Chain A
Amino acid sequence: MNNTKNTEAERLSFLEKIYIPEIAKGLGVTFKQMFKPKFTRQYPEEVWEPEGSYRGRPVLVQDENGERCVACGLCARVCPALAIEMQASETEKEKERYPVKFEINMLRCIFCGFCEEVCPEEAIVMSKDYHLVFTSQEEAILGKDKLLVPIEKLKDRLEYLREYK
């Protein structure tokens, strides 16, 4: 405490040093804030809808002929967390291959979007779904039934992919 050059104690007048007007001003600011609008979102009643660019839960696209996936295995190869598992099989449809078993382990998925980027058929996309609640580890391994989503629901994401990627 040896510096004697222009410390605050020397610059303030006696009345200012008591700080009471400053305290009163501070209290006034806080008081006014009490009446301003609050920014809390009441979650279960008000849900946030993300933009098209949001990377949520990965889902399989389902159009008129069933799923688009041809079980090429690229998404399982590229997944950094090894979350995807699939088993290919033959089908009579034009695409000739389809995944008889397709599982994503949501406890391993890191939502990076590499599977969506590498897919040649645009068959797996990151949806907008972020409400993920599981009550057991077995429940968190999503099979094909939970992963298939009709194409109408994924329009925002497909549009975003078309425009930017």
Chain B
Amino acid sequence: MLIKAIVIVTMIMLAAATLVYIERKLSAFIQNRIGPNRTGPFGLLQPFADVIKLFMKEDIVPTAADQRFHKIAPIISLGVAVAVYSVIPFANYIMIGTHKIFIGIAPDINIGLLFILAMTSVGVYGITLAGWSSNSKYSLLGGLRSSAQMISYELSMGLAVIGVLLVSNAFTQHNGTWLNTMSLNTLVLNQIGWRWNILLQPLGFIIFLVASFAETNRSPFDLPEAEPELVGGYNTEYTGMKFGMFFLAEYGNLATSSAFITLLYLGGWQLPIPASWLGLQDGTILLALCQFIMFLAKIILVATFFIWVRWSLPRFRYDQLMYMGWKVLLPLSLLNVVITAIVIYLLN
């Protein structure tokens, strides 16, 4: 268990660093320039250089700031970004002898999905505390805007997820056995055989995608941290490694959201072809490795899509953002749940 935890935390840090690198290179290519290419071959060591630089910087805390919360806020953000990974399944189980080992810390837990929604809600605390405790008008506005935005879009996200649960549950009952209903492993298992939820729940997919953009504070919903608008929003007063933790938390959240989108809608760790075509048995390490690599590839694709959208679309104004969250996405997600329920009832 401890080994798994250490491996997963290391992986998250590497994933955040990789995403930073991909973002810089991809944004450079979109803007007709080359990204970092001096540190290491093709600039691969650039994120590590950034992290080392952040460690070396002086840690300034404003004297009028609330000292305790100023220090705790980045810890909450980063802690939540990492904690969510405990319920993500990276591959199907491995059989070593008669021992079933799950890849992931607790992917089969019965409340997997609820845990994720809960942890993203706790993540709002990190940003709100950061904005409040910095005792500066830009931070306060940025923090409040960000937390309002995250709370509004969590609702639509939760309702879109309910659609996925309904669909997944329908298949579970069809098989006649009751598996753990909200565990992420079950959700992925129920998508075996090209029953990917993106095809069964297109509206839910779009709603979840848009809500994910808003949850991670990424363009086009990045008003809380947009430089021309708010000088940096909630992380204005943060320097050195505390800023580094917010930075890592943002890219960690990006990786987490990509992981959810692939788990819930794109079939998780499944290979596009049945494993028997490759001659691999269920439960072997080789198959688990293939599935793991597939999962990573899908996450990188979705994260690339996030980055691509950031550099293509203009930013939402704050009132347009709130309008969309409450008056457009919430009714649409309710509609999605109702339609899904009706279709499942009629087909059963």
Contacts and interface: CB of A to CB of B under 8 A. Distances in A.
Contacts of B313: 23, 26
A14 interface: no
B312 A40 contact: no
Ranked nearest first, the 7 interchain pairs of A and B with the lowest CB-CB distance are A30-B312, A34-B29, A40-B34, A40-B33, A26-B312, A30-B30, A38-B34
A109 to B, nearest CB: 31
A38 B37 CA distance: 13
19 contacts: A23-B312, A23-B313, A26-B312, A27-B308, A27-B312, A29-B312, A30-B308, A30-B312, A33-B30, A33-B31, A33-B32, A34-B29, A37-B32, A38-B28, A38-B29, A38-B32, A38-B33, A39-B32, A39-B33
B33 A31 contact: no
A27 B219 CA distance: 13
A36 interface: yes
Contacts of A40: 33-34
Taking residues whose C-beta sits less than 8 angstroms from the other chain, chain A's interface range is 10 to 19
A34 B26 CA distance: 8
Given A33-B29, A37-B32, 7 more contacts: A23-B313, A26-B312, A26-B313, A33-B30, A33-B31, A33-B32, A39-B32
B115 interface: no
A14 to B, nearest CB: 13
B148 interface: no
A36 B29 CA distance: 8
A145 to B, nearest CB: 34
A23 B210 CA distance: 13
Contacts of A27: 308-309, 312
A44 to B, nearest CB: 10
Interface in A67-125: none
A31 B31 CA distance: 10
Contacts of B309: 27
B69 interface: no
Contacts of A23: 312-313
Interface in B1-45: 26, 28-34
B308 A36 contact: no
B33 to A, nearest CB: 5
Contacts of B125: none
Contacts of A26: 312-313
A40 B33 CA distance: 5
Interface string A112-156: 000000000000000000000000000000000000000000000
B126 to A, nearest CB: 30
A148 B113 CA distance: 76
A34 B33 contact: no
Interface string A20-48: 00010011011101101111100000000
Nearest to A26: B312
A26 to B, nearest CB: 5
A34 B30 contact: yes
A36 B312 CA distance: 16
A136 B299 CA distance: 51
Interface in B290-345: 308-309, 311-313
A13 to B, nearest CB: 17
Contacts of A38: 28-29, 32-34
Contacts of B34: 38, 40
Contacts of B308: 27, 30-31
B33 A30 contact: no
Nearest to B26: A34
A27 B307 CA distance: 11
Nearest to A44: B38
A117 B258 CA distance: 64
Interface in B29-64: 29-34
Nearest to B38: A42
Nearest to B305: A27
Nearest to B206: A20
Interface in B95-144: none
Contacts of B312: 23, 26-27, 29-30
A48 to B, nearest CB: 16
Nearest to A37: B32
A81 B309 CA distance: 50
A34 B22 CA distance: 13
A26 B311 CA distance: 10
Contacts of B30: 30, 33-34
B336 to A, nearest CB: 15
